Structures are given as C-alpha cells and as structure tokens.
C-alpha cells in the first residue's frame, strides 16, 4: 500500500498516474508534491540495465547531466559493450562539453552497433551525427564533415546533419 509519503519515501509505492485518475489534477495542481515524487524516483537505486538507461535519460532531460553520466557509467559496469548505453553516454558527454570523450564513446557505440531493432534504441545515423557534433566542437571539421556524410549515407533525409554541414561551411565561408 502507499501508506508512506513522497517526503519520507517510506512504503511509497509508485503507481502509474494517468490523466483520468482522480489524484491526477491534485498532483498536477500541486507542483511541490510532484517535485517530491520526482525526487523520490530519481533517488531510487536501480540495478537493472534498462532501468539505469531510463533513469539516466530522465536525469539528462532534466538537465542533471553529471547524474545522468554516473548512471550510464553504472549501467556500463554491467554491460560494457551495450551500444545503447554507449550512445546515451556519448550524447550526454556532448552536453557536458567533454567532446573528446564523447567522440571516443561514440566510436565504441558505432563499433558495437547492431541493426537488430530489438537490440537498439537509436539509429546508426544518430551516432554518426552526434560524433560529428563533438568533432566540430573540437574544431576537427574535416572529421566532422565525414561523420555527417556517413550519417547522410545511411539516411539521406537526416536533416540535422545537413544543418551541421551548413554551419561548418558557413564558418569556412564556403557558401
């Protein structure tokens, strides 16, 4: 039962909250209570690799990049070759402006990529694109252009890479 409170976390059973639940409006109207629930969830220790990926992703989306990185690293201790975790970690490292480490991590991710849709949560062009973003931040623009081109070779409609190529070309004043 959920006899505890979000504040103490004691016996606090997390149940999905849907818009048609009677408590939904109360919780949504009470931001402070919702924040407490969020804090309990984020402070919950998880060990399952998929729970760790999910937790890291949520932390990252709430701008808690250092915490997300720690969570991804914990997940990698269980499965160091998991391309999904490597992809998420590489993306997080870019946000932390740790660009060389992001490039290295994304290289590992690309090396271990599986085209089995049941094994991966990202498309390979995303990994090449993010590698290009990190390389551009390191001012390694020739390598960045190569990474963006590889992304476009996989998916010619991947407009994000066209945009980044345009930024580099503009920086070089090659319209």
Does this model's pTM top 0.85? no
Ordered DSSP codes for 106-155: HHHHHHH----TTT-SS-HHHHHHHHHHHHHHTT-HHHHHHHHHHHHHH-
Mean pLDDT throughout 16-21?
57
pLDDT digits over 6-18, tens only?
444 444 444 555 5
Direct distance between the N- and C-terminal alpha carbons of the chain, in angstroms, rounded to an integer: 64
Biggest distance spanned by C-alpha atoms of the chain: 65
Residue 61's Cβ-side half-sphere holds a number of Cα atoms within 13 Å equal to 8
């Amino acid at each position: 039962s959920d006899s505890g409170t979000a504040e103490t976390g004691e016996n606090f059973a997390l149940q999905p909250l849907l818009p048609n639940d009677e408590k939904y409006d109360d919780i949504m109207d009470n931001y402070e209570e919702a924040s407490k629930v969020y804090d309990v969830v984020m402070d919950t220790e998880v060990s399952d690799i998929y729970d760790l990926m999910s937790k890291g992703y949520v932390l990252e989306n709430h701008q808690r990049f250092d915490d997300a990185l720690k969570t991804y690293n914990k997940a990698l201790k269980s499965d160091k070759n998991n391309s999904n975790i490597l992809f998420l970690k590489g993306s997080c490292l870019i946000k932390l402006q740790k660009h060389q480490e992001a490039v290295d991590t994304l290289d590992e991710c690309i090396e271990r990529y599986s085209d089995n849709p049941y094994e991966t949560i990202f498309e390979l062009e995303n990994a090449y694109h993010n590698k290009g973003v990190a390389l551009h931040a390191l001012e390694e623009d020739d390598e960045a252009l190569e990474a963006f081109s590889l992304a476009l070779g996989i998916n010619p409609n991947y407009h994000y890479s066209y945009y980044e190529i345009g930024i580099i070309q503009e920086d070089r004043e090659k319209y």
